[in-house]
Amino acid sequence: NAGVTQTPKFQVLKTGQSMTLQCAQDMNHEYMSWYRQDPGMGLRLIHYSVGAGITDQGEVPNGYNVSRSTTEDFPLRLLSAAPSQTSVYFCASARGGTVTGELFFGEGSRLTVL
């Protein structure tokens, strides 16, 4: 099993560009989530999903879109990148539609917006 796979690992964007961070898991987990990690701050939840076709907002959803068309994939879209979105992004999954199970994280994607 590959676990949780995030791509790309590194990305540089110009302000206003759009891009998609990909997240895929092969463990048949229903719960998937996106976080951002900024210096001096804890991980913050952007969006999450408890199953295919179901998504909800987290703590910092503005500027990001998600969709969940399959159990395996949970892409995060930046529609018009801003320097404030420079961060390290993590995708995580958990068994069942709940976050009370063991969490499995991707390796992270470092995004720089110029």
Q: How many residues bind another protein (CB under 8 A)?
A: 28
Residue placing its CB nearer to another protein in the complex, 46 or 81: 46
Those residues with Cβ within 8 angstroms of residue 25's Cβ, 6 or more apart along the chain or in another chain: 3, 4, 5, 32, 72, 74, 93, 104
Q: How far apart are CA 14 and CA 50, in angstroms?
A: 32
Closest separation between CB of residue 21 and another protein, Å? Answer: 15
Beta strand pairing status for 109-113 and 10-13? Answer: parallel
Task: Compute φ and ψ for 84, nearest 5 degrees.
Answer: -65, -10
Instruction: Work out which of 15, 16, 59, 79 binds another protein, going by CB under 8 A.
Output: 59
Neighbours of 10 (CB within 10 A): 9
Tokens encoding 16: 């206003």
Q: If binding is defined by CB under 8 A, does position 105 make contact with another protein?
A: yes
* Window 6-45: contact mask with another protein (x via CB under 8 A): -------------------------x-x-x----xxxxxx
Residue numbers at the binding site for another protein (CB under 8 A): 31, 33, 35, 40-45, 48, 50, 56, 58-59, 88, 90, 92, 97-105, 107-108
